[in-house]
Chains A and B, each alone.
Chain A
Amino acid sequence: MSLSATTPVTGAPARPFLRHLERAGLYLALSVAAFLSVFPFLWMLVSATNSSGEIIRGKLGLGDQFWINLDNFMTQVDLPLVMWNSAKVAVLSTVLTIAVSSLAGYGFEMFRSKMRERLYSLVLLTLMVPFAALMIPLFMMIGQAGLINTHIAILLPSIASAFIIFYFRQATKAFPTELRDAARVDGLKEWQIFLFIYVPVMRSTYAAAFVIVFMTSWNNYLWPLIVLQSNETKTITLVVSALASAYYPDFGVVMIGTILATLPTLIVFFVMQRQFVAGMLGSVK
């Protein structure tokens, strides 16, 4: 005689109908949430195949205007140049931000000092200051430095990111101090410990930070709008925005621009998806 045949089922009595209903409700709510999230993206893809007039009329089906829209876009925009500008700014900004902020996060966590927490609090306080409040003094500083219309004007203010410093410090709490001790006994200097032990061990944290900073930097609009005034330096977000704010905007062309502006961030996210999730959960297991 099997155990399952003789053992009475304990706990709440099974109520399959209620359980199915509960599950159905859950799936419905999740489906609505998923639809609301994905719809703008789908709408963007579909609209890129329609003419501006069809988009304004609210057409939701696929059209035959894609190649025309693309051709119009390519004639209006120097795509290689704006993509290069965006890529240059995003990659440099990401690499520099991560390099500086991870060093700061490592330092804040690893080195004991009386001033450590006070200094760290000051860094965190900068998170409370809205960018709108910084814009004008920052613009004046950049202007006085003669950096208007240069990509350095975008890179400089973004390098030391309080949020990424915070993120790295929190992640560093899980970095075993005994690894650092072992490395010191093995003869490594502090910078070597950082480079040869910390960075490889924390690679998931770096990957997650890369995704976050790259997306933020690629999608950055307001500050580039203020400091990049010549067409030669403009990034894709500025160009798409300019297309949309024309006197008679061609929304089909705008949608092509939006797709092209979205593609790199999508690629980065999908390529680094696993590392991103691991990094958000913590590098050190």
Chain B
Amino acid sequence: MADVRLQAVRKTFGVLDVIKGVDLDIRAGEFVVFVGPSGCGKSTLLRMIAGLEDISEGTLTIGGQTMNDVDPSQRGIAMVFQSYALYPHMTVRENMGFALRFAGMDKQEIARRVQSAARILELEPLLERKPKALSGGQRQRVAIGRAIVRNPKVFLFDEPLSNLDAELRVHMRVEIARLHKELKTTVIYVTHDQVEAMTLADKIVVLRAGQVEQVGAPLDLYDDPANLFVAGFIGAPRINVFTGQVTARLPGAAEVRLDGFAERRLVIPLTGEAPAEGTEIRLGIRPEHLTEGGAESLPIEIDMFEHLGGETFAYGRSRSGETIIVSTRNGRHLKAGQVLAAGFDASKALLFDAAGLRIR
């Protein structure tokens, strides 16, 4: 278990800036998830930590030691890949013990470690099989086992569950969380799935275009996003966004008017100073905060539904054309074409400026 620190880390491919200066502190034993859309640089950043990509600028330290130019095998890391990357010509046992054998470890110690990891991951009956004789979930467990036997200071996971079906993904997610609890090793985990990020992470790092947008605990990011991108990326279904303008500055609040609802004035409480009158704003309201009750209410015409059993997602449009999602536990009676008075509590609404930055 070791801490990981990135200071002004950059990665350039020719003239292309892929990672544009990342500063990050990861405490020993922490489960950190890098999350962001495709191409945001999260996998590249992970590969830089692993030593599979050079660091163009900045410093990477693991356990207090600078690792910029250290060979991947000497960094005290172990990595689990999206495609498992198991050696197809070796059995599960050989796959798991390969790195140790190569490091010149005693055969008995290799056997002990492989056996121990196999027991933790319930792989004992599969040890003599080749990867092609395993299911996706079993392969992933072998890949994790291969990482465990090395007893690393830091586990790196690169979208490890992306190739699994939905049910297995949930199962493996729980397995990984259990494993982290058991081994207490630092974990850096890359995913584009915000549900994985929310459920696994002690700390989420939201990345966009090679930059860190926000770092924080999952619920902190959910409740208090720094900008519209984070608000949109964290939370499923996506946050609803209305456009509008500030109509008045009030003490500790801003009065706003939303496009398409000119007759309504909403008072949004703020801890700081309200923006000037006439400022363009974006108002974000999470789908579960739009209900049929609430202090404020907006008429939304419903187009379609997704009934999930326990809850219903109703899709509609605001009068200015934005897609609005209402999440309700009591939506079986709703009908398409019906106008829903979507109410919400103004204290739950999140205010952003036109550039998407949060106004608190």
Contact = CB atoms under 8 A, between A and B. Distances in A.
Interface of A: 176, 178-179, 181-188, 192, 197, 200-201, 203, 284-285
B73 A201 contact: no
Contacts of B82: 178
B72 A185 contact: yes
Contacts of A284: 88
B89 A184 contact: no
Interface stretch (B95-103, B187-195, B265-273): B95-103
Contact of A176 (B52, B85, B98): B85
Interface of B: 47, 50-52, 71-74, 77-79, 81-83, 85-89, 98-99, 102-103, 132
B89 A178 contact: no
A182 B85 contact: yes
Contacts of B74: 187
A186 B52 CA distance: 12
A192 B102 CA distance: 10
A197 B87 contact: yes
Contact of A178 (B51, B77, B81, B132): B81
10 contacts: A179-B87, A181-B81, A182-B85, A184-B72, A185-B51, A185-B77, A187-B74, A192-B102, A200-B87, A285-B132
Contacts of A179: 85, 87
A186 B81 contact: no
Nearest to B87: A197
Contacts, number: 56
Q: Ordered nearest first, which 8 A-B pairs have the shortest CB separation?
A: A187-B73, A186-B99, A182-B85, A178-B85, A200-B89, A178-B81, A185-B72, A185-B79
B223 to A, nearest CB: 37
Contacts of B87: 179, 182-183, 197, 200-201
Contacts of B73: 184-188
Contacts of B52: 181, 184-185
Nearest to B82: A178
Contacts of A186: 73, 98-99, 102
Contact of A188 (B83, B85, B86, B102): B102
B85 to A, nearest CB: 4
Contacts of B85: 176, 178-179, 181-182
Contacts of A203: 89
B81 A182 contact: yes
A171 to B, nearest CB: 15
Contacts of A181: 47, 50, 52, 79, 81, 85
A185 to B, nearest CB: 5
A176 B83 contact: yes
